[in-house]
Amino acid sequence: MPKTEKTVGLNQLISVGLPLAVSIFAFWLVFRKLDFQVLISAFGQLSFGSVTLIVLCFLAGLLLRGITCWIIYDSKFSYADVFWAMNLGYLLNSIVPLRLGEFGRAAFLSEKNSKNTSYMEVLAGIVAERILDLLVGFCFLIACLLFLIDNVLLNRIAWIGLAGLTISIILIILAAQNKEKTLSWLKTKFKSNLAQQKLIPAFDQLLIGFEVFLNPRRFLLAFVILAISWSFSMVEYMILQNAILKASEWWWPMLVIPASAFVNALPAAPSGLGIYEAGSVGAYALVGVAKAPALAMSLVVHAVQIFIPAVFGVIALFLSGESLGSLTQKATNFRQKKREQV
């Protein structure tokens, strides 16, 4: 049917074109009126030792994030499987648009099926990790804004974001605690075939995957380890600040890291190209750091964030016997199934 095909084609064009447009606009903002000589000079101030320390800090943070994910899944998968799946997801996100990495990661883990864990349960674990990321990020941002930066607008945004996130977590906990009542209420209210056969069963599996929120000890442990993982990212920026800037403050990364992470959630080209740099440069601008050195620091950190997980992702492909094409296809298929359920 031509109309349907045109609609699908238009949706695909928008889903690919919009992220690319956002990245192009972000690059324009970052490189507009940029002093390239200062940028090159900033790169020249980096030593082999400082770059090595940055790589080591990133590796430590990556390993800790793997532990966080393993805790979220409550040992349903081995740490190795969780770690390789995580990096496979990063690899896909770095080269394929539409953020297929999360779906590829879920597809990879669900096929391990060590304890009959469904795809939606695995995906719920990834969503739980993202919720924890938001919680950690808002905590660092609020600590920075409350004690170190006097900015009414940013404080208001941070508090509203944290309040919204807290309410979301409470609702998740209540729904997971009262799963049977929640599902029964949904079945009573929504009687269509779509809801009864697809949406409600999918929501049931999501609630099973959200069980980490029902265990305070696991939740707190995952939160603390993830916060330490974020702290290693902040150390990376501290190393760069000491190498590139004449004067800096230790707390600046507490502003830059959350800002970059939150902006990176916007639709963009693979790896968040452009928007990550824009978020970092914009955050540094708030504390008076010039565009060129701020961009140099963000480019170094972003390059490490892309390259190292990509290497681990390629290793994971070899170990699993998968090919990049087959994993991409699985991610696309699972993403389509999720859309059909929603």
Residues in the chain, overall count: 342
SS3 content of the chain, % helix, strand, coil (to 5): 85, 0, 15
User: Can you read off the two tokens belonging to residue 163?
Assistant: 């309040």
pLDDT band at 2 (very low <50, low <70, confident <90, very high): very low
User: Can you read off the two tokens belonging to residue 261?
Assistant: 């992470």
Lowest-pLDDT range, 99-108, 124-133, 152-161, 208-217? 152-161
CA-wise closest residue to 99 among 223, 270, 236:
270
pLDDT band at 13 (very low <50, low <70, confident <90, very high): low
Structure-model confidence comparison of residues 241 and 205, the more confident one: 241
CA-wise closest residue to 102 among 301, 338, 321, 263:
338
Write down the pLDDT at residue 10: 59
CA-wise closest residue to 134 among 226, 271, 235, 256:
226
CB 291 within 8 A of CB 271: no
Residue range 88-100, pLDDT digits in tens:
999 988 887 667 7
Write down the pLDDT at residue 238: 97
Lowest-pLDDT range, 37-41, 76-80, 172-176, 226-230? 172-176
CA distances from 335 to 210, 223, 241, 339 (A): 19, 28, 40, 6
Stretch 148-153: mean pLDDT, rounded?
70
Check whether 1 has a pLDDT greater than 60. Answer: no
Residue range 279-314, pLDDT digits in tens:
999 999 989 999 999 999 999 999 999 999 999 999
How open is the CA angle 140-98-198, to the nearest 5 degrees? Answer: 95
d(CA 232, CA 293): 20
**CA terminus-to-terminus distance, the chain:** 23
Question: Based on C-alpha coordinates, what's the Rg of the chain?
Answer: 21
Q: What is the DSSP letter of 273?
A: T
Place of tokens 């940013």: 154
Q: What is the DSSP letter of 76?
A: S
Residue range 245-261, pLDDT digits in tens:
999 999 999 999 998 98
What is the H or E stretch that residue 164 is in? helix 152-177
How open is the CA angle 317-321-323, to the nearest 5 degrees? Answer: 60
Torsion sign across C-alpha atoms 23, 25, 27, 30? negative
Write down the pLDDT at residue 188: 85
Average pLDDT of the residues of the chain: 85
Write down the pLDDT at residue 19: 82
CB 190 within 8 A of CB 196: yes
Backbone angles phi, psi at 73, to 5 degrees: -80, 0
Write down the pLDDT at residue 282: 93
CA distances from 174 to 168, 217, 249 (A): 10, 17, 41
Whole-model pTM: value is: 0.86
CB 165 within 8 A of CB 265: no
